[in-house]
Structure 1
Amino acid sequence: MTALVVLPSGLRRIVMVLGFPAGYTDAGFVPFETFGAKVWMLTLSVLSELVALLTIGLVRPWGEVVPRWIPLVGGRAVHPLAAVVPAALGAAALTLLWANVPWWWTYPHDDMTPAGSLVVGILYQPLILWGPLTAAVAYSYYRRHRPATRGTIGS
């Protein structure tokens, strides 16, 4: 699911890399026409999607045992905290990073067309869910892999 909430914004950036203004005015799009900007947008889109796809490891077997094809550590069990701590920190960072997205339309976007501002706001809204979804699968992973508790008092 996390990979799907990241997809709309990434596809929009790829459209921009291909030379389409994707909601910007002609003047507003100029900074995005440089080679460096295109490399950055493409890199950001690919890396965001790859990071989002990593959450699948929290619900699939390769999140419990390192795949054999990985040198030096392949085939070893993943220590639960080695998966939970980065996922929890990432969830917190993503939640903070995208917390202002619901208020997209309250900020001025002078370099965008009115329709572009509306569409971009809609495409970026799913990012609000990225952090909480990551937190949910990290918590689920933790619950499934926490050490077994010994008998409790009174039982």
Structure 2
Amino acid sequence: MTCRSGSAPIPAPVPVPAAPRWAVRAAHAVALLTLPTGIWRLLLAAGFTAGYTEAGYAAAGLPGWGRAYALGVTLGSELLALLALGLVRPWGVVLPAWIPRLGGRRLPARAVAAAAGVTAVLLACAWTPFALWWALPHPDMTPHGALVVGLLYLPLVAWGPLLGALALSYRRRTSAYGRPAGLSGGPGVPRSG
């Protein structure tokens, strides 16, 4: 129990249980899903046509501002994918102590789960069409390039569903835990099942 000066003791929060093994594996898979496309975009930014025809490469704007766009999308995708690890790690429940002014604070579980859920839906909408990649013509790419790019982007189809499952697991783990035990009928006591 912890006490504030001059006040009644405040019960300590019940710790959140560890993430299930499947969720830890799924979070690591999400963190790796963006690597193939990230490497491909880095090749584009470095000046390689990487499957595009010369005309397709130029039309994509890659000799100019397209390079900055490719780098930005790669960096943003990698960071977003790495945030999935927070759904299975302690820093996704309580901010690390080394963060100035915020370290040690508990994150609002509902907000974290909602943000992850909304992101999962957006990612599913964005990447699911890549499952149909080979059904569409790609005149700006070489035949071999279109095959390789399709294979590189195909793992991203799983990003939304995996993140959605992680968000549900996170919400379930954190919803019954972390509130002071013994208040109003026993919040803080884990749900059964």
Inter-partner Cα distance in structure 2 for 1:26 and 1:38: 15
1:137 aligns with 2:137: no
Per-residue deviation, 1:79: 1.6
Per-residue deviation, 1:107: 1.2
1:78 aligns with 2:107: yes
Which of 3, 19, 39 is the aligned partner of 1:11?
A: 39
SS at match of 1:74: coil
**TM-score, normalised via structure 2 length:** 0.74
Residue type of the alignment partner of 1:141: Y
Please name the residue that 2:96 is paired with.
Answer: 67
Residue type of the alignment partner of 1:124: Y
1:112-131 to 2 correspondences below 5 Å: 112-131=141-160
In the alignment of these two chains, the number of paired residues is: 150
1:90-109 to 2 correspondences below 5 Å: 90-109=119-138
Rg comparison, structure with higher value: 2
Inter-partner Cα distance in structure 2 for 1:106 and 1:10: 23
Inter-partner Cα distance in structure 2 for 1:142 and 1:72: 25
Per-residue deviation, 1:26: 1.0
Per-residue deviation, 1:71: 2.8
SS at match of 2:34: helix
Inter-partner Cα distance in structure 1 for 2:62 and 2:136: 20
Show structure 1 runs of 4+ deviating over 3 A: 148-151
Residue type of the alignment partner of 2:42: I
Per-residue deviation, 1:16: 0.6
**TM-score, normalised via structure 1 length:** 0.92
Please name the residue that 2:83 is paired with.
Answer: 54
Inter-partner Cα distance in structure 1 for 2:32 and 2:176: 32
Per-residue deviation, 1:60: 0.4
Which structure's residues are more often helix, by fraction? 1
Please name the residue that 1:147 is paired with.
Answer: 176
Residue type of the alignment partner of 2:121: A
Inter-partner Cα distance in structure 1 for 2:112 and 2:100: 18
SS at match of 1:93: helix
Cα-to-partner distance string for 1:109-148 (whole Å, 9 max, x where unaligned):
1110000000000000000000011111111111111136
Q: CA RMSD in A?
A: 1.6
Residue type of the alignment partner of 2:145: G
Inter-partner Cα distance in structure 2 for 1:128 and 1:26: 28
Please name the residue that 2:62 is paired with.
Answer: 32
Residue type of the alignment partner of 1:110: P
